[in-house]
Structure 1
Amino acid sequence: MEDLSQERERRAGAVTVSQYVAPAGAVPPNRFDRRTPLQQVWFWEPDQWEQFTCEWVRMLARAEGYLGAEIIGGSNDRGADVVAFFTERRLNGEWHCFQCKLYQDELEPAHALPEMLKPFVAAVETTRTLPTRYTFVAPRIHPRLKDLVLTPDELKSRFLKHLQGRSQTVTKLPAQLLADVVELAEATDFSMFWTANLDEMLEVYSKSPLFAARFNYPPSGEPAKLPVPPEPAADEARFLAQLVDVYRERYGQRIVTVDDAFAHAKSGDHLRRQREAFYAAEELRLYARDSVPGDAYAELQDDVLVNLVEVADDDHESGWHRLRAVVTQAGNLQVAGSAIASYFQQAQRKGMCHQFANDDKLTWCDGSEQ
C-alpha cells in the first residue's frame, strides 16, 4: 500500500483546478473604483470573504495536492469555514481547515483561542479527524497572534491555560467532554496552526484571472505574440476563402485559390496583412481567455458585431468596398467598457472582422454587387 506522501504526490499531479467563477455580488460594480484590495475588503460581507478564501485555496490545490476544497461555513461549521482534503475520505482523512475572520481590527489571540477549541471538540464528538493544518485567514493578523503561532509550544501552553479558564466557550462544555478535549490537545502538535492575511493571499491570487474581476483591476501582462504560420492553417480556411472571392471579383477570374491570391501582384501583400491581423486578434482572444475571468473577448465581439452587421448589410459597390467599410467602422468604434479595451488596437480590430468572416457572421461578397 502506498504511504500518504506517495498518495499526495500522485494526487497533486492529477488535480484539476476548476475555473471558479466569482459570484456577481463579489465583483465591484464600478469599473472606475480604484481602491486597494484591502480598502475594498472592509466593505465585504463575511460570505464574500469566505468565497475569496475558497478561491485562494483552490488556486493552491495543485501545489498542495488537494483533491478538493469546499465552503462549509455556517452556524454549525465547527470552526471550519473552508476545508481542503487530500483523499476521498475527506474530513475523515487528512485535511486542512481555513477559519475565515473578517474584522475591522486585526485578528488577535483573544479571537483565535475560542476558535481553536472547535476542531478539538469536533474530533471528540464526531468522526472528524483533527486537521493537519488549521489556518486563520483574516485581512490583517495582529503581530501577537503571528508570534504565538510561530512558536507552537507557547501556543499550546496558552491554549491549555485557556481550557482551564472561565470563558463561556469553555464553561459550557460538559466536564467529560472538556477532559477529553484537554487530553487530545496535550497529545497534539500545535504546529498545525497557521495564519494567512490578505497580503499573503494576494501573492497567489494576483496571478489568477479572477484578480482583475474581484478587485476591479486591469488584467496583468501583455498578449503573447502569436507567429503567423507560413502556410495557412485549417482554421483560417473560411475567412481566406472569403478574401479569395473579394480578390477574384476585384482582380479577375484567374484568382481561384489562396495560392493564386498570394501570387498576384496586388492581392498578395493585402492577403499577408489580413492574416497578420487575424493572428493579432487571436493573440488577444487567447490573452483574454487566460487573463480575464468569464469570456471578455466574446462579449467584446458581441458589442462589435452589432455595429458591423449594419455596415455590412448596406449596399456596396463590391465585396472589396464592403470589406473596407466594415474594417473602417471597426477601427472607429468606442469600446472603453471592455476589460481588454486597451489592447484592442487597429490590428486586432481588423483581425476581429476576419474572425467574423471565418465564422460566416460577416460575408464580403453576397452576389448582389453590380
Structure 2
Amino acid sequence: MQAETLVEIELPPPPNDYDVLFGVPVPPIDRLKLFSAEQFEDVICEWVNGFLKTEYDLVYRIGAAGDKGRDVIAEIKQDNLVIQWDNYQCKHYDHQLYPSDIWLEMGKLCHYTFINAYSIPRKYTFVSPQGVGAAFAELIGNPEMLKEQLINQWNDKCKNKITKTEVIELSGEFLDYVKNFDFSIVTFCPPQDFLEQYSATPFFKYRFGGGLTKPRPRPEKPEQEIQLNEVKYVKKLFEAYSEQLNQTILDSSTLSTHDISLFSHFNRQREYFYKAESLRRFARDELPHDEPFEKLQDEVYDGIIDIVEAIHPNGYICVLETIKLVNNLQLTSNILIKYLLLGDRGGICHQLANKDRISWVKS
C-alpha cells in the first residue's frame, strides 16, 4: 500500500491595504450577475443610450406587465416617424439562457406582430448577465431550427400563456405567418461584449467603479477675440481694472495701452477660464450627469464668497485676494479633484462670475 503524501496548505497572497477598507473588488463580469432584474434593465437602457446612441433617435424602456414581449425599445426615425426599431430583451436569471427560457418571448413576438400590435423589429437581441448555453447559441445560429422547435413547443409553452384572456392557437393564417417569419433577426449579446461596450459609456463608473480612466485632454488656448461665452466675466474684469486705474476700460486693447501688467493679468485669467471650461467638458464627457462639476463650483463658491463680499480698496484687489484664496482651498470631496490643473480654480471663479454668482466690483 502506497503511503499518503501530505501537502501543507499554503495561504493565498495577502490582500492589499485597500481591501481591508473596502473588501476584495468584485470583477464586473461577476458584479453584473448581482444586479436585480430592475437594475439590469436600467443598465441595458444606459448601454443602448450611451453606446448605441448614434444609431438611434429614441431609446425607452417598457419592462412591465403588458409589454407584449418588449423590454428596451430603440427607435430610428425619419421626419419624426419610426422607420426601424430594435428590441433588447433582458433576461435576468440565475443560469445561462436555455431554449426553454425564450419560447414564450418568441410566441409573443410572432403573435403581436401578426395582429399588428407593433411592427417586426430589425433586431431582437437577448441580453443576459449569465450569458447563453450551448443549446441556446446553436438554436439562435440556426433560424430554421428555432422556427421548427417553436412550432413543436407552441401548445406547451405559448398557447395559453401569451395573454390571460385568450387561447392563441397556432393554425390557419397565423401558422403560415410563423412558418414564413424571419427568425434571423433574433440574436444575443455575450456578457463580455456587453461589458466592453458598456465600459465606453459614462455610466460604467457609477455601476462598476474604477474611477475616470481616460486622461484629461489638454486645455485649449484662448482665441485672440473674446468669445460669446466669455463676455460676462470679461466685462466684470474690465470693471475691476477700471477701479484700479481710475480709468474706464472697455476692451483689452485699451487695457494694454494703460497698464501692460494688468493686460498680462487679464490674459492669464482668460487662460484660467479656458482650463476650467476644459475640465467642465471632460466631466461632461466622462460622467453621465453635470452634478460633480456643479458640486465643485458650489464648493469653490462656498470657499470664496466671504472674501469676495469683504471690503477691498477696489475690484482688482478683490480679484487678487480671491484667486490667492481659491488656490489654497482644501477641496477633498469631489471625484474631479485629482484632475485639477493649476489655473482651474481661478477659472472656476470666472465661471461663477459668468453665472452672476459673484462680482468683483460692489454695485
In which range does the TM-score fall when normalised by the shorter chain?
Answer: 0.7 to 0.9
- More moved, 127-136 vs 169-178: 169-178
The amino acid of 2:181's aligned partner reads: T
Residue 286 of structure 1 corresponds to 281
Superposition map of 1:205-354 within 5 A? 205-221=198-214, 222-250=216-244, 253=247, 257-263=251-257, 264-296=259-291, 297-354=293-350
Residue by residue over 1:243-294, the C-alpha shift from the partner in whole angstroms, topping out at 9 and shown as x without a partner, is: 3444454456486742233342422322221211111111112222333222
The answer to whether 1:189 aligns with 2:182 is yes
Residue 101 of structure 1 corresponds to 91
CA distance in structure 1 between the aligned counterparts of 2:320 and 2:314, rounded to whole angstroms: 10
Percent same amino acid among aligned pairs? 28
Aligned-pair CA distance for 1:334: 3.3
Residue 177 of structure 1 corresponds to 169
The 1:352/1:94 distance shift into structure 2, 3 A limit, reads: closer
The answer to whether 1:48 aligns with 2:66 is no
CA distance in structure 2 between the aligned counterparts of 1:130 and 1:33, rounded to whole angstroms: 45
Aligned-pair CA distance for 1:193: 0.8
CA distance in structure 1 between the aligned counterparts of 2:23 and 2:344, rounded to whole angstroms: 24
The amino acid of 2:227's aligned partner reads: A
CA distance in structure 2 between the aligned counterparts of 1:51 and 1:105, rounded to whole angstroms: 20
CA distance in structure 1 between the aligned counterparts of 2:168 and 2:353, rounded to whole angstroms: 75
CA distance in structure 2 between the aligned counterparts of 1:39 and 1:57, rounded to whole angstroms: 21
Aligned-pair CA distance for 1:172: 6.2
Residue 8 of structure 2 corresponds to none
CA distance in structure 2 between the aligned counterparts of 1:71 and 1:208, rounded to whole angstroms: 18
The 1:80/1:331 distance shift into structure 2, 3 A limit, reads: same
Question: Aligned with 2:333: secondary structure?
Answer: coil
The 1:185/1:336 distance shift into structure 2, 3 A limit, reads: farther
Question: Aligned with 2:348: secondary structure?
Answer: helix
CA distance in structure 1 between the aligned counterparts of 2:121 and 2:304, rounded to whole angstroms: 57
Aligned-pair CA distance for 1:143: 4.1
Residue 144 of structure 2 corresponds to 153
User: Please, which of 97, 114, 123 is the counterpart of residue 133 of structure 1?
Assistant: 123
* Contact 1:33/1:216, CA 8 A, preserved across alignment: no
Question: Aligned with 1:184: secondary structure?
Answer: helix
Residue by residue over 1:293-342, the C-alpha shift from the partner in whole angstroms, topping out at 9 and shown as x without a partner, is: 22232232122112210122233454444323221222223333323222
* Contact 2:219/2:278, CA 8 A, preserved across alignment: yes
The 1:191/1:337 distance shift into structure 2, 3 A limit, reads: same
Residue 112 of structure 1 corresponds to 102
The 1:233/1:130 distance shift into structure 2, 3 A limit, reads: closer
CA distance in structure 1 between the aligned counterparts of 2:337 and 2:128, rounded to whole angstroms: 34
CA distance in structure 2 between the aligned counterparts of 1:73 and 1:357, rounded to whole angstroms: 45
Question: Aligned with 2:270: secondary structure?
Answer: helix
Aligned-pair CA distance for 1:228: 0.9
TM-score between the two structures when normalised by the length of structure 2: 0.77
Question: Aligned with 1:146: secondary structure?
Answer: helix
Aligned-pair CA distance for 1:195: 0.4
Aligned-pair CA distance for 1:236: 2.7
Aligned-pair CA distance for 1:101: 0.7
Query: Where is the helix percentage greater, Structure 1 or Structure 2?
Result: 1
Question: Aligned with 1:266: secondary structure?
Answer: helix
Question: Aligned with 2:89: secondary structure?
Answer: strand
The 1:318/1:193 distance shift into structure 2, 3 A limit, reads: same
Gaps of 5+ in 1: 1-30
Question: Aligned with 2:169: secondary structure?
Answer: helix
Aligned-pair CA distance for 1:201: 3.0
Aligned-pair CA distance for 1:242: 3.4
Count of aligned residue pairs for this structure pair: 331
Residue by residue over 1:198-239, the C-alpha shift from the partner in whole angstroms, topping out at 9 and shown as x without a partner, is: 433344433333333344453453245322112333443343
CA distance in structure 1 between the aligned counterparts of 2:126 and 2:90, rounded to whole angstroms: 6
* Contact 1:108/1:141, CA 8 A, preserved across alignment: no
User: Please, which of 42, 53, 60 is the counterpart of residue 70 of structure 1?
Assistant: 60
User: Please, which of 111, 123, 129 is the counterpart of residue 121 of structure 1?
Assistant: 111
TM-score between the two structures when normalised by the length of structure 1: 0.75
The 1:257/1:119 distance shift into structure 2, 3 A limit, reads: closer
